[in-house]
Amino acid sequence: MSDDFVHQAAQWVSEYLAGVGDLPVLAQVEPGAVRNALPPDPPAGPSSWAEIRADLDGVLLPAMSHWNHPRFFGYFANSSPPPAIAGELIAAATNQNSMLWRTSPAATELEEVVTGWLARLLGLPPWFAIVHDTASTSTFSALAAARHRAAPTASEDGLAGHPPLTVYASEEAHSSVAKAVMALGLGRRALRPVATDGGARMDPSALEAAVEADRAAGAVPMAVVATVGTTAATAVDPVPALAEISRAHGLWLHVDAAYGGAAAASPSRRWVLEGVADADSVVVNPHKWLFVPVDCSVLYLRDPASTRAAFSLVPEYLRAAEDATNQMDYSLALGRRWRSLKLWMVMRAMGTSGIVAAIEEHMRLARLLARWVEESPGFEVLAPVDFAVVNFRWSPPGLGGAALDGANRELAEAVNRSGRAFLTTAPIRGMTALHASVGNLGTAEADVRELWDAVGAEAGRLLGHLTPSLP
Ligand SMILES: Cc1ncc(COP(=O)(O)O)c(C=O)c1O
């Protein structure tokens, strides 16, 4: 390894960042493209940077979908700006693994500092926090703690013979809640989907009725998961009312603010985290809308002792000498990447004013797109634009029901195939919507315009091929 890989890679990265906007957003390759282009046997001898770079540019780059592209509007769009990349580089170079305080005092304590900064930025209470890879892991960990509180013997004895434990989340909640329930051994049916109102928000009276019915049937209601910014409609569950019900019934309240929590940085959106101080745990994902690349998810815990009780299991070789936080006590994973470094770099480099300005600009761009949609015959906005996501649909004349949903899916695919922009679809009140999320720091008004032009152009092209489904 005589080549200077780090400098060469830094050069590659800066060229990539300068040109990413000119690449097709979605990888334009077929399944197998990478697998078939690379040899099945590992190289017997060393390869130079130049040889490796040839494969990077020739095989891997064409097979990348560019999440860091200014016209990536799918799912929840996000960013990987240079300070975050520097954080990733230095975390890798220093190879910090903060399983114990002594194995990285820097990573352990920076995590405390930076999660505290984030809590202050978002108006969250000064709770203990732990950085996980994803919101799925954070929610799993929160529900593991909730399970420990509801069934303290389960970690020793398992759940056999225990009355069924039940968990409540709205029918719009993310699938990670169901996965956590399955992985915790509660059984998928333990998750009760609670009805929502017309705005896709959990209905508190439906929650209360479900809890009471389960209790009457001999189950042990364990936890409620509220969502701030649902995956499809970006709806905000009524957390204050859900907190009151949770308290009255002794349930753990976990708030999934993986996407929506970031918006609370803006004074105009402080309301989205209203009531969260009365919850037991909340997850916010900096890798969604706080300008760090995947992975980085922050789990805040009112009472970290229950999480510690759920996860702490210390073999002799890991016995700690110091009286300090040992992060392995709060998670399933033992080894831990230094994820807080990239968040720290971004918060230092942007400052809170820069972060707030970026979030407000993204919301402005989303409202602008929503206005263009509303002003265009044949298009309509399907959900309120409270964050930086626009759910809208195309209603070509003569189409309804499944055919209309199909036409919207086809339109999304056509835009994505064009490479000009990338957007996804989402279910809104039983309809298939086009889902455009503004979340990349490089996205400017011209990029949103290009998305809208691509939607218009592809819709025009598709019109010629549509078969009306209505008489
Ligand atoms: C509301 C919500 N919660 C949780 C998740 C899961 O996020 P992660 O990929 O970090 O596990 C998502 C993913 O989009 C989401 O939309």
pLDDT at position 161: 87
Amino acid type, 415: V
Q: Which CATH number fits domain 97-337: 3.40.640.10, 3.40.50.300, 3.40.50.2300, 3.30.200.20?
A: 3.40.640.10
pLDDT of 2 strictly over 70: no
How far is the C-alpha of 328 from the C-alpha of 99, rounded, in Å?
5
Give the position, in ligand 1's atom list, of the atom nearest the Cα of 256: 3
pLDDT of 172 strictly over 80: yes
pLDDT at position 318: 74
Q: Which residues pair with 299 in a beta bridge?
A: 130, 283
**Domain residue extents for the chain:** 1-26+65-95+340-471, 97-337
Reported CATH class of domain 1-26+65-95+340-471 = alpha beta
Strands 431-437 and 424-428: what pairing? antiparallel
Residue 205 CA: distances (Å) to CA of 165, 212, 220, 233, 241 = 20, 11, 19, 21, 9
pLDDT at position 110: 98
Percent of the residues in the chain that have a pLDDT greater than 90, as a whole number: 88
Q: How far is the CA of 194 from the centre of ligand 1 (A)?
A: 19
Q: What is the pLDDT of residues 345-374, one digit of tens each?
A: 999 999 999 999 999 999 999 999 999 999
Residue 161 or residue 250, greater confidence: 250
Binding-site residues, ligand 1, Cβ < 6 A? 75-76, 134-136, 174, 176, 227, 230-231, 256, 258-259, 285, 297
CB 131 within 8 A of CB 157: no
Number of neighbours of residue 142 by Cβ within 10 angstroms: 29
Please name the residues in contact with 119: beta carbons below 8 A apart, sequence gap of 6 or more: 125, 126, 127, 129, 300
Amino acid type, 289: W
Query: pTM of whole model > 0.85?
Result: yes
pLDDT of 470 strictly over 50: no
Q: What is the pLDDT of residues 54-94, one digit of tens each?
A: 999 999 999 999 999 999 999 999 999 999 999 999 999 99
Give the position, in ligand 1's atom list, of the atom nearest the Cα of 134: 10
Give the position, in ligand 1's atom list, of the atom nearest the Cα of 76: 14
Pocket test for ligand 1, best of 138, 139, 176 (most atoms within 8 A of CB): 176
Strands 389-394 and 128-132: what pairing? unpaired
pLDDT of 52 strictly over 50: yes
How far is the C-alpha of 277 from the C-alpha of 210, rounded, in Å?
24
Section 189-216 average pLDDT: 97
Helices (H) and strands (E) in the chain, counts: 15, 11
pLDDT at position 466: 60
Question: Per-residue DSSP letters for 85-154?
Answer: HHHHHHHHHHT--TTSTTT-HHHHHHHHHHHHHHHHHHT----EEEEES-HHHHHHHHHHHHHHHH-TTH
pLDDT at position 471: 35
Q: Which residues pair with 284 in a beta bridge?
A: 298
Amino acid type, 75: Y
Q: How far is the CA of 329 from the centre of ligand 1 (A)?
A: 24
Measured at the CA of 145, the angle between CA 143 and CA 148, to 5 degrees, comes to 110
Q: How far is the CA of 228 from the centre of ligand 1 (A)?
A: 11
Question: Per-residue DSSP letters for 219-266?
Answer: -EEEEEEEEBS-TTT--B--HHHHHHHHHHHT-EEEEE-TTGGGGGGS
pLDDT at position 20: 96
Whether the ω angle into residue 329 lies within 30 degrees of 0, i.e. cis, is: no
Please name the residues in contact with 101: beta carbons below 8 A apart, sequence gap of 6 or more: 108, 320, 322, 324, 325, 326, 327
What 3-state DSSP class applies to 23? Answer: coil
What 3-state DSSP class applies to 31? Answer: coil
Please name the residues in contact with 302: beta carbons below 8 A apart, sequence gap of 6 or more: 125, 127, 279, 280, 281
Section 299-311 average pLDDT: 88
Atom 5 of ligand 1 has which residue's CA nearest to it?
135
Nearest to 100 by CA among 333, 345, 342, 343: 333
pLDDT of 153 strictly over 70: yes
pLDDT of 109 strictly over 50: yes
pLDDT at position 268: 95
pLDDT at position 346: 98
Residue 208 CA: distances (Å) to CA of 168, 204, 319 = 10, 6, 44
pLDDT of 113 strictly over 80: yes
Nearest to 294 by CA among 5, 38, 79, 448: 79
* Dihedral sign, Cα of residue 282, residue 288, residue 291, residue 294: positive
Percent of the residues in the chain that have a pLDDT greater than 70, as a whole number: 98
H-assigned helices in 43-99: 49-55, 82-94
Q: What is the pLDDT of residues 405-421, one digit of tens each?
A: 999 999 999 999 999 99
Residue 432 or residue 330, greater confidence: 432
Query: Residue 155's pLDDT band (boundaries 50, 70, 90)?
Result: confident
Q: How far is the CA of 174 from the centre of ligand 1 (A)?
A: 6
Amino acid type, 391: N
Give the position, in ligand 1's atom list, of the atom nearest the Cα of 287: 10
Average predicted confidence (pLDDT) for the chain: 94
Give the position, in ligand 1's atom list, of the atom nearest the Cα of 285: 10
Pocket test for ligand 1, best of 75, 254, 288, 290 (most atoms within 8 A of CB): 288
Residue 186 CA: distances (Å) to CA of 230, 295, 332, 404 = 24, 27, 17, 39
Buried-exposed string 266-281: b where 16+ CB fall within 10 A, e elsewhere:
beebeebbbbbebbbb
Q: How far is the CA of 135 from the centre of ligand 1 (A)?
A: 5
